[in-house]
A and B are shown apart, each in its own frame.
Chain A
């Protein structure tokens, strides 16, 4: 049974991250995803200290606040003339450091260790179940990720055209009256939600891999936004299954194997994608060259 819960949790992480990851990649904001995944830390710890539990709504809310604060600060520094990559580096490391201090100060009071935050503990996901009146309803992480996925699908589904136009041509979006800043922060809110729901399972570092790698793989495989989202989720789920299988064989970190598998699938797409693949392009050039020579 634990296999099932781990695979389900991993697939839900892949779906949440895969959908919002597409928009991060298309808006050239991959590193913002990285920044958010780290700087939600202090929010998570503060919420943990207040509520004493790891699955509260408060934690989600605190992470949202810090995620949106991160993007706001980065944007503010960029607008006042700091280089964009430097702004990202300054904001997320400083906020992450505050989180590290908080964990080291209060780690004994609250059950929250640095390893779990950095690397996740998907292997133990089925131990932390939600019970009502003695009836087990399954792991809490699955519920949290499930709700997050529903929210992400609902928001993106409802405002698909706005997210699409804001990603492709923000100037036209603003000109026809779409509140571009609102949708920017809405997306950042969704990224924060996906990150905080996932970090418990795969950790703050590897969640970036799940945000960016499957979406980048999908980018190489299709020319349609809708298919890119579906492929991104599919690649994420495939990485989960493949990675878990390898981790069982090797007896290695599950989250680590999942993200490695995602990296491997990316390399495959990079080399063999029918439209963008390096090998395919070379082969095509060679056949073109020989047909010209003949």
Chain B
């Protein structure tokens, strides 16, 4: 947090961007997330890693209050997330929406500004200009008027990223932004994440590709229903801890480090 020490903080902002304590979630009696507690530091890129069904997306959704949790507390900058929504940006999984919806790229990005507009406000010229700026940051300005179904998967993902930028948040949750994107998009996304980090923002990313973890993230959270390990990537992304998280499914990890699971 040292790089932001020169800024004056209110009491709530001085607290950690995200503190989760004792979070548990169950679907139809079956626990999918059990007693998870951790605290993230400001200005870090954090990767959430774990096998399929480990509850990675679930944890993100529960932290945002999108699905009910059976116990636990989520604090964003020291207060309940409900009071801090304007500080939070969210990128859902790309498959979670219908890309045949009648709208264009700029309009989707503009949706990122809705949270600031209140109940009756409408997006105005300056909001549109800002949305276009956000599209530019992900290299998609020329596609502003393009119907979203006519974009490639990677372009759609970049539109989602631009929308998160338009939310102008301090803490970002991103659910598999790298899933199924082309190399150009992957590069655009990671450049953007570094940029956000430079601005002192905190980004939590559900990630699948073990090969890029060490390169992309400052901290890693290993999850398999329960929290397996959390800490700086160098100490946490180790063969022993990964083995524990993935069970027997992670063979030849040393060699496999460079490959996709």
Complexed CA–CA distance, A219 and B103 (Å): 11
Judge whether A171 and B66 touch: CB under 8 Å. yes
Complexed CA–CA distance, A222 and B100 (Å): 11
The 6 A-B residue pairs whose C-beta atoms are closest, nearest first, are: A176-B115, A223-B147, A175-B90, A171-B92, A177-B85, A169-B97
Q: Quick one: CB contact mask for A227-238 with B, threshold 8 Å, 1 for yes?
A: 110000000000
Judge whether B82 and A168 touch: CB under 8 Å. no
A228 CB to nearest chain B CB (Å): 5
Judge whether B104 and A175 touch: CB under 8 Å. no
Q: Which of A158, A160, A168, A223 contacts B98 (CB 8 A)?
A: A168
Additional A-B contact list (8), CB under 8 Å, known A168-B111, A177-B115 = A81-B28, A161-B123, A169-B92, A175-B66, A176-B90, A178-B114, A222-B102, A225-B102
- Please provide the chain B residues from 112 to 145 with a CB less than 8 Å away from any CB of chain A in the complex: 114-115, 117, 119-120, 122-123
For chain A, what secondary structure do more than half of its interface residues adopt (helix, strand, loop), or is it mixed?
helix
Interface centre among A164, A222, A223 (most CB of B within 10 A): A223
Residue pairs across A and B with Cβ atoms less than 8 A apart, 9 shown, are A161-B114, A161-B123, A168-B111, A169-B111, A171-B92, A177-B85, A219-B102, A224-B102, A225-B103
Complexed CA–CA distance, A177 and B90 (Å): 12
Q: A168-B97, A228-B102 are in contact. Are A176 and B66 (CB under 8 A)?
A: no
- Please provide the chain A residues from 97 to 140 with a CB less than 8 Å away from any CB of chain B in the complex: none
Q: A165-B111, A169-B96, A223-B147 are in contact. Are A176 and B101 (CB under 8 A)?
A: no
Q: A81-B28, A177-B85 are in contact. Are A172 and B103 (CB under 8 A)?
A: no
Chain B CB within 8 A of A247 CB = no
List, in ascending order, chain B residues with CB within 8 A of A176's CB.
85, 90, 114-115, 167
- Please provide the chain A residues from 144 to 191 with a CB less than 8 Å away from any CB of chain B in the complex: 158-162, 164-165, 167-169, 171-172, 174-178
List, in ascending order, chain B residues with CB within 8 A of A164's CB.
103, 111
Judge whether B147 and A175 touch: CB under 8 Å. no
Chain B CB within 8 A of A8 CB = no
List, in ascending order, chain A residues with CB within 8 A of B98's CB.
26, 28, 168
